[in-house]
Amino acid sequence: MPVKKIGVFTSGGDSPGMNAAIRAVVRCAIYYEKEIYGIYRGYQGMIEGEIEAMNVRTVSNIIHRGGTILKSARSQEFMTSEGMQKAYEQLQIHGIDSLVAIGGDGTFRGAHEFYNLYGIPTIGIPGTIDNDIAGCDYTLGFDSAINTVVKAIDNIRDTANSHNRLFFIEVMGRDTGYIAVHSALAGGAEAYMIPEKAMSVEGLIEILEAGAQNKKSSSLVVVSEGNPSGGAYELAQKVKEKFSYYDTKVTVLGHIQRGGSPTVFDRILASQLGVAAVEALLEGLKELMVGRQGQRLVYTPLGETSSVEKGIETDLLRINKILSI
């Protein structure tokens, strides 16, 4: 069946670049003379029929904005057969015959199940600051998030150097340490604590003691919130009990990492993926996520985006170790 009406929505946690992707999807659909509909509040809005036609002016002046103009929500109801039935009925009412889903692993799991039940062609665009989606080098929002984190680290280092302080900086990353590893390297941190490569408190203290012996005036430790040895506050307390060379402080960056204008990299990536998603639907592709690996666009089955683990680049771990002395 030829594509006539495309629905686009964002789901799960918001990330910088989502608006740029929405803009690209809407304008590309109109360029190819297709109707385009925005579905508000993700799957929950799909269930409740919060669906509106979009046009070129709808997405004017949003490429630079963080968040998502289509709003986002997590929907437990959608994960039931009754909820999916309601969502399908609303799409039928509006005549929507294909979807572009912008989000992370939860979004794609839902899209995969929905496709299996109702067969609506769907193309996913990876949008999450965690960068934990297989099938792409970088997800939308990751570059913006680590730039926000590194700016904070630079500011914190100024005060750390002034007062002989040890700072524990907690970043997002419940299940993955991508943000922590990249920002630790770019921010010149002495150590990082991540879910994928657990380090004991004793191992961390050894690193900090070596720095103290080298007369370091301050030290920074970047901690993923999902670190198995504990969060920043817990780690700071454990270290303080055994190592008192520095005055120990904690900063939890929290949701500041999700906000703000997307970087140039994320705006360009969003534009590429938005156009590729629409063109994939027009070519008859379905139940896939579009991502960029190197300079190529690649397509990954939605069911594999969360089932296949995306590991941290081992070379970055090696470089971090070399440069943190």
Among candidates 153, 157, 156, which has minimal Cα distance to 181? 153
Contact at 8 Å (CB) between 138 and 292?
Answer: yes
Phi-psi region of 16 (alpha: psi -120 to 50; beta: other; left: phi over 0): beta
| 3-class SS of residue 113 | helix
Kindly give the interhelix angle for 81-94 and 105-118, rounded to the nearest 10 degrees. Answer: 70
- The alpha carbon of residue 261 and the mean position of all alpha carbons in its chain are separated, in whole angstroms, by 14
Question: Distance between CA atoms of 7 and 101, rounded to whole angstroms?
Answer: 8
Question: Distance between CA atoms of 252 and 111, rounded to whole angstroms?
Answer: 33
Alpha carbon dihedral 204, 207, 208, 211, in 10-degree steps, equals -170
Q: Indicate if 158 belongs to the active site.
A: no
Q: What are phi and psi of 73, to 5 degrees?
A: -160, 155
Which letter, b or e, does each residue of 262-281 get, where b requires 16 or more Cβ atoms within 10 Å of its Cβ?
bbeebbebbbbbbbbbbbbb
| 3-class SS of residue 100 | strand
Q: How many residues does the chain have?
A: 325
Residue 269, strand partner residues = none
Residue whose tokens read 């150590």: 191
Catalytic residue among 14, 130, 132, 266: 130
Question: Distance between CA atoms of 57 and 84, rounded to whole angstroms?
Answer: 31
Run of H or E residues at 7: strand 5-10
Those residues with Cβ within 8 angstroms of residue 59's Cβ, 6 or more apart along the chain or in another chain: 19, 22, 23, 26, 27, 69
Active site residues: 130
